[in-house]
Structures are given as structure tokens and as C-alpha cells.
Amino acid sequence: MDHDQDNEHTASRAAEELAEAAAHTASQGPRLWRLQWAQAFKRLSELGAGGQDSDGGSGQRG
């Protein structure tokens, strides 16, 4: 249970960081914003996988 709560907290924090990064980079051009978004989404996907490798642990495409 503690591990699940920790993952939820970490995911929540990552979402907050994503929002801050989006607000900060949106004025700096769409290319940089897309890069930031892709990095944050990848991070959230990795957090979603947690440490559970039942699906192979890879949430990446292309």
C-alpha cells in the first residue's frame, strides 16, 4: 500500500512539473514545448509501469 501511495504521489508531482514546464516553455516555441511534453509523458509512462514488469516494462513506442 505504501508503495502505491508513493507512486501516486510521484505521479502527481510529475504532473505538476509537467504543468509548470508547459507554462514555462509554451512561449518559447512549439518545438521546445513538444520536446518537454514528450519527456514528461515518457516519465509518467515509466512511473505508471512502476516496478512491475508483467508487460515487459516497456511502455515506449517508436
In the prediction, which pLDDT does 34 show?
A: 82
Tell me how many domains the chain contains. Answer: 1
- For residue 26, the enclosing domain spans 2-43
* In-domain check, residue 21: yes
Torsion over CA of 13, 14, 15 and 17, rounded to 10 degrees?
Answer: 90
**Interval 19-46: pLDDT, tens:** 887 777 666 777 777 888 888 889 888 8
Residue 45: name the closest of 59, 56, 35 by CA.
Answer: 59
Cell triple for residue 58?
516497456
C-alpha span between 41 and 34 (Å, rounded): 10
Percent of the chain with pLDDT over 90: 0
* In-domain check, residue 52: no
Residue whose C-alpha cell reads 508503495 in the numeric block = 3
Dihedral sign of CA atoms 9, 7, 10, 28 in order: negative
* In-domain check, residue 60: no
In the prediction, which pLDDT does 18 show?
A: 82
